[in-house]
Amino acid sequence: MLQSFKSRLSPFFPRLAAGHRFVLRSLLTGALAFLLVLPPFYPLHASSRLKDVVDFEGVRDNMLIGYGLVVGLNGTGDSLTNSPFTETSLVGMLERLGVNTRGTSMKTKNVAAVMVTATLPPFASQGSRVDVVVSTLGDAKNLTGGTLLVTPLLGADGEVYAVAQGMMAVGGFSAQGQGASVTKGVPTSGRIANGAIVEREIPFRLADLGSIRLSLRNPDFTTANRVAASINQHLKGNVAVALDAATVRVLVPDARRHDIVGLMTDIEQVQVSPDQVARVVIDEQSGVIVMGENVRINTVAIAQGNLTIRITETPQVSQPAPLSQGGTTTTVPRTAIEVDQGEGKKLGVFNPGVSLQEMVQSLNALGIGPRDMITILQSIKAAGALQADLEII
C-alpha cells in the first residue's frame, strides 16, 4: 500500500533532486503510517470532577437553631399584648439580670422574639465563627437597627454548639404614611455575619478511617461503577468498589494511612463521566419543561387543535335625526362571534428513536406552546411512546 502511494506521488516531483525526493518520501511515509495507527474518533462525553459528583460521608454540615430576643428597635417590635411569649421571655431575661418586673404592665415595642438559625460546617473548631439568620416570630414590622442578645444555638441532639449575638444587617425596609406605604425586601429577617461562636466541636476523626465512603448526589448504577473504575485507574489498584447505586467504598491504601487529606484531594480531582436517566421534568405552575439528552420517542402521530370562540361586544349609539320629534337616543348592541376550530393544524409523525432536538424542533414547527406541549408529552407517555421518566413538580 505504501509503495503504491509513493509511486503515485512520484510524477508530481520530477524536478526534485534524488536526496530531496528521498527526504520527502520519508516524511510522507511516516505521516501515512501515523495516520493508519490513529484510533478511530469517538465523541467524548462531558466529564466532571469527582468532587462535583459525590459527597464524602461524614464530611457534612449540621443545622443549628435557637430562640432569642432582639432589642433596640425603633417602635417596630412585637406588641406584648399580641405576643405573650415575647413578654414572658423579656421578664425572664430581666430577672436573670437582677431586675424584677413581675406584676407590672410593660408596653414597650422595641423588643421582638426571633428564631435564630445557623449552619455548622464540618471540622468547625471551638472559637471559630459562623453566620446566623434571624427571623421574627411575632408581629414585629421591622428589625432594622436591632441587636440580638446572647442566644444559645442547639443541634438535633439538644446540645449547645454555638452562641450568637450581635448587630443585624437587614436587607429590606418599610416606610408608611397616612395614605401610602412602601416595603422593599423582607424587613422582618436579618443576618449577622460571623455572629455565632462555636462552643462545641462535633467528634469526627478523619485520620482513623480505614475506608472512605462516597455518596453520589444523583444515584445511578452506571455512574457508581464508573466512579469506582476511575478511582482504581487513578490509584493503580483495586481499592474502590460500588456498593450500590448511591455508595462507593474506597479502601485506604497502607501507604496513605497517614495522608488521608492528600488521598481525598487526589480522589476529588479524578475525572468521571456521569450517566443520567432519560427524564422529562415539567413544572405545570410556570410552564417550564426540562428534558435530558437521552429522551427518545417511538413512532407516534401527533395532532393538536383547540376550539376557540371569540365574542366581541362593540355597542353603537343610535341618535334620532336632527330636529326630529319623538326620537330618543339609544344604545344598539353589536356582537361579533369568531370560531377557530384549528383547521390549520396538521398531523405530525415522529419516527422511531427521535432525539430531543428533533422532537423540540418538530413541536415548535407545529406552533405548539409550552402549555400545550405539557399535555402532548403526558399523552405520549400515556401511549407508551415516550421512553423516559415523566416527572411533574
Are residues 258 and 288 located together in one domain of the fold? no
Q: List, as own/partner pairs, every contact residues 93-102 make where C-beta atoms lie below 8 angstroms and the sequence separation is at least 24, other chains included.
A: 93/69, 93/149
Are residues 234 and 339 located together in one domain of the fold? no
Has residue 262 got a pLDDT over 70?
A: yes
Residue 67 within a domain: yes
Give the residue with greater pLDDT, 216 vs 104.
216
Residue 26 within a domain: no
Are residues 311 and 225 located together in one domain of the fold? no
Q: Which of 248, 272, 296 is the last residue of a domain?
A: 272
Q: How far apart are the first and last CA of the chain?
A: 62
Are residues 292 and 369 located together in one domain of the fold? yes
Mode of pairing for the β-strands spanning 389-392 and 279-283? parallel
Are residues 157 and 211 located together in one domain of the fold? no
Q: Which of 272, 299, 323 is the last residue of a domain?
A: 272
The strand pairing partners of 330, in sequence order, are 318
Percent of the chain at pLDDT > 70 equals 73
The pLDDT value recorded for residue 12 is 45
Are residues 147 and 191 located together in one domain of the fold? yes
Q: Domain of residue 166: give its range.
A: 62-173+183-198
Residue with cell 448526589: 217
Mean pLDDT (whole number) for 243-270: 90
Mean pLDDT computed over every residue of the chain: 79
Mean pLDDT (whole number) for 47-53: 89
Residue 294 within a domain: yes
The pLDDT value recorded for residue 72 is 92
Are residues 122 and 193 located together in one domain of the fold? yes
Has residue 21 got a pLDDT over 60?
A: no
The pLDDT value recorded for residue 388 is 82
Residue 348 within a domain: yes
Are residues 268 and 352 located together in one domain of the fold? no
Has residue 45 got a pLDDT over 80?
A: no
Are residues 356 and 251 located together in one domain of the fold? no
- How many domains does the chain contain in total? 3
Are residues 81 and 190 located together in one domain of the fold? yes
- Give residues with Cβ within 8 angstroms of 146, minimum separation 6: 70, 71, 72, 73, 77, 112, 167, 168, 170, 190
Alpha-helical (H) ranges within the chain are 2-9, 18-37, 84-96, 221-235, 260-268, 356-365, 370-382
Lowest mean pLDDT segment, chosen from 69-78, 178-187, 239-248, 277-286: 178-187
Residue 44 within a domain: no
Are residues 292 and 341 located together in one domain of the fold? yes
The pLDDT value recorded for residue 355 is 64
- Using one digit for the tens of pLDDT, what is the confidence trace for 166-202? 999 988 767 666 667 777 778 899 999 999 999 998 8
Task: State the cell numbers at 302.
Answer: 401527533
Residue 118 within a domain: yes
Residue 295 within a domain: yes
Residue 104 within a domain: yes
Residue with cell 417550564: 288
Are residues 214 and 242 located together in one domain of the fold? yes
